[in-house]
Structure 1
Amino acid sequence: MSSSTPPQRELLMVGMSSKTYRIGDIVRKECHVLVDDIGITEENVKACKAEADVYRILGSHPLIAECLSIGPENEYVELKYYPNGNLKDYIHMNLANITESDLKRWAHQMIKSVEYIHSKGVRHSDFRLDQWLVDAGLNTRLSDFNASGFDDQPDLGLKGTRAQGFEIPSHCLPRDLEADNTVESDLFALGSTLYELVAGHTPYEGLSDELVESLFEEKKYPSMEGLLLNDIIMGCWKRKYPSAKDILHKMCGSRITS
C-alpha cells in the first residue's frame, strides 16, 4: 500500500446509538442513523452529543480512553485505538498469564477512574468489564460514555443532562428506572464489574434477566466465598460506600496497591 493511501475504514461494531469504525490508529464513533425511525435517530444523536460532551468534561487522564478529536457539532468522537482491546476480552485471551497482582492493580485503576469521573460530575451509567480498554502499558482506561449523564458545567457552558440509558440487569441497582442514574447506581454497577473481574463471569450468569433482577431486589447475592475483593464487592452491592474514594480507602486498608 502506498504511504499516501488513506487507511481503510473498518466497521468494528454497531451499538444502540453509534457505529464504531477503526481508521488506522484511530477509532471513530458516529451517530447511528436509522432512516426509517426518526425518533430513535434523535435519541441516538442525543446520546452521541452527550458522549462528546463527556470527553470534553473529562479532558486528558491516564485512566480514561484518549479522545483525539470531536466533531464540530458533536456528531462524532475520535479516540485512540488500543490494540489490546477491552479488559474482558484481554483477560479471556491471556488467562494463563493473569496474576492476582494484575487483578488487584486493574481493580484499583478501575475504581480510580470512577472516582475521577464522579469528581467531574459525570455518571457513566453502563459499567461492565468490557467498558475498560487495555493500553500499551497494560493499564485500564474507561470508555464508552454514550449512556452517561453529567452535572452543569459552567466553565464549559454545558447544561447538565440526565443519563441516556442504564445498566444490564446483572449490574443494575434495583430502583425506579424512570429516575436519573446516580453515583449510588454507578457504584452498585462497579461492584458487579469487579465481580466480573475476579470471578470471570457476570453475577448470576446463565439466569434470565427477570430472575437476576428479582434476586437483587430481594438482596440475594452470588456466593463470594474465596473470591478476591469479596468485601469490597459486597459493600458496593449493599451500598456501604458513599463514594469511589471510600472504596479506595477500603482497598488501601486491605493493602491493595496500584
Structure 2
Amino acid sequence: MLIPAIKEDVRFAKGRFLDSGASGILEILPCGNVMKSPWPGQSGMDSRRDITIENEIYKKLGRHPRLITILGWNLQDCALTMEYMPNGNLQAFLIRNNTVAESQRLQWVQEAAEGVQLLHDADVLHCDINPKNLLLDAHLSLKIADFGGSSLAGSEPSACSGKRFSIPDKCWRDPPTVQDDLFALGTTIYFIMTSQLPFPGFSEDAVEESYRNHKFPEVSQIVCGRFIKRCWSSQIASAQEIYDFIRSIA
C-alpha cells in the first residue's frame, strides 16, 4: 500500500469546516461535496495512513446502498472526496428527534446490520461501530462510514471502540475480531431503539465493570432485544442474522 509522502507543515482550508477526527479533517467544498484530508506535518503521517486505508477499503467494497459514494481520490494530497450526508450522523439525529417511529428505527437496525455484514464479507473489520459512524442521507437511509481506523485483510487497525461498545477487558493491542464488531453493533442497536446509550449515568469504567459482571440493560421489551443480548454475550455468528430477522417482521 502506497502512502503519499508529507509535502508541507502548513495546511490551507479547502472548504467550510464540517468535522475532524484522528484520521483527518472533513470540509464541505464549494460544490457541495465533502473532502477528507489529513492533518498537516509529521504528526499527520498516521492520518495519511488512515485515509489511504479508507480509500483501499472503499475500492474493495465498491458502490453499495449502505456506503457513502466516493467521488474522487487525490493521491498527491491523500484526500478523499465523497457525497455529503445532509442529515448528519445517527446519534445526533436521534438526540434531536427522539420521537422517531419504531418502524424507522427498525429500518435503521436492518440497514446497520446490512452494512456490517457487507464489511465482514469483504474481510473488513470496522473496529469502531457506533451511532456517530452511521450517517443519514436526504432520504434517511443509513450509510456506514469512517473506515480510517479499520482493519483490511488482517491489517493492524488504528481505531478501537469506546467501553460501552467493547467486550469487557478487551485490550486495544489484541487483534480485532468479528465478535468485537458484533458487540459494538449490539450497543448501537440498543441506542437506535432507545435513543440512549447503556447506563447513561455511569462512567465508562463503571460500564465496563457492569459488563464484566454480565450486567446489561434490560432489553426484553425491545423488538430485537434478543439479538442485542446475543451480541453482548458473543452468541451471534453474524450481522446477517439480525438483517434476516428484521426483514422477516417488516
Aligning the two structures, in what range does the TM-score lie when normalised by the shorter sequence? 0.7 to 0.9
Q: CA deviation at 1:73?
A: 5.0
Q: CA deviation at 1:71?
A: 1.8
Aligned to 1:206, what secondary structure does the other structure show?
coil
For 1:110 and 1:256, the matched residues in 2 are separated by: 16
Letter in structure 2 aligned against 1:30: S
Unaligned runs of 5+ in 1: 1-7, 152-159
The one of 128, 131, 138 aligned to 1:129: 131
Residues 65 and 222 of structure 1: CA distance in aligned 2, closer, same or farther (over 3 Å): same
| Alpha-carbon contact 2:111-2:243 (below 8 Å) kept | no
Q: CA deviation at 1:226?
A: 2.1
The one of 170, 173, 178 aligned to 2:167: 173
Between 243-252 and 105-114, the greater mean CA deviation after superposition: 243-252
Aligned to 1:95, what secondary structure does the other structure show?
coil
Is residue 90 of structure 1 aligned with residue 93 of structure 2?
yes
Between 10-19 and 240-249, the greater mean CA deviation after superposition: 240-249
For 2:59 and 2:206, the matched residues in 1 are separated by: 39
Aligned to 2:249, what secondary structure does the other structure show?
coil
| Alpha-carbon contact 2:130-2:184 (below 8 Å) kept | yes
| Alpha-carbon contact 1:115-1:245 (below 8 Å) kept | yes
| Alpha-carbon contact 1:64-1:143 (below 8 Å) kept | yes
Q: CA deviation at 1:44?
A: 2.1
Letter in structure 1 aligned against 2:52: K
Q: CA deviation at 1:172?
A: 0.9
Is residue 189 of structure 1 aligned with residue 184 of structure 2?
yes
For 1:217 and 1:170, the matched residues in 2 are separated by: 11
Q: CA deviation at 1:141?
A: 0.8
For 2:113 and 2:130, the matched residues in 1 are separated by: 13
TM-score by length of 1: 0.85
Identity of aligned residues (%): 26
Which residue does 2:151 correspond to in 1? 149
Which residue does 1:14 correspond to in 2? 20
Which residue does 2:213 correspond to in 1? 218
Unaligned runs of 5+ in 2: 1-13
Which residue does 2:38 correspond to in 1? 31
Q: RMSD between aligned alpha carbons?
A: 1.9
Aligned to 2:111, what secondary structure does the other structure show?
helix
Q: CA deviation at 1:10?
A: 0.5
Q: CA deviation at 1:164?
A: 1.4
For 2:245 and 2:235, the matched residues in 1 are separated by: 11
TM-score by length of 2: 0.88
| Alpha-carbon contact 1:65-1:141 (below 8 Å) kept | yes
Is residue 53 of structure 1 aligned with residue 26 of structure 2?
no
For 2:18 and 2:93, the matched residues in 1 are separated by: 16
Question: Number of paired residues?
Answer: 236
Task: List structure 1 runs of 4+ shifted beyond 3 angstroms.
Answer: 249-252
Residues 74 and 167 of structure 1: CA distance in aligned 2, closer, same or farther (over 3 Å): farther
| Alpha-carbon contact 1:19-1:32 (below 8 Å) kept | yes
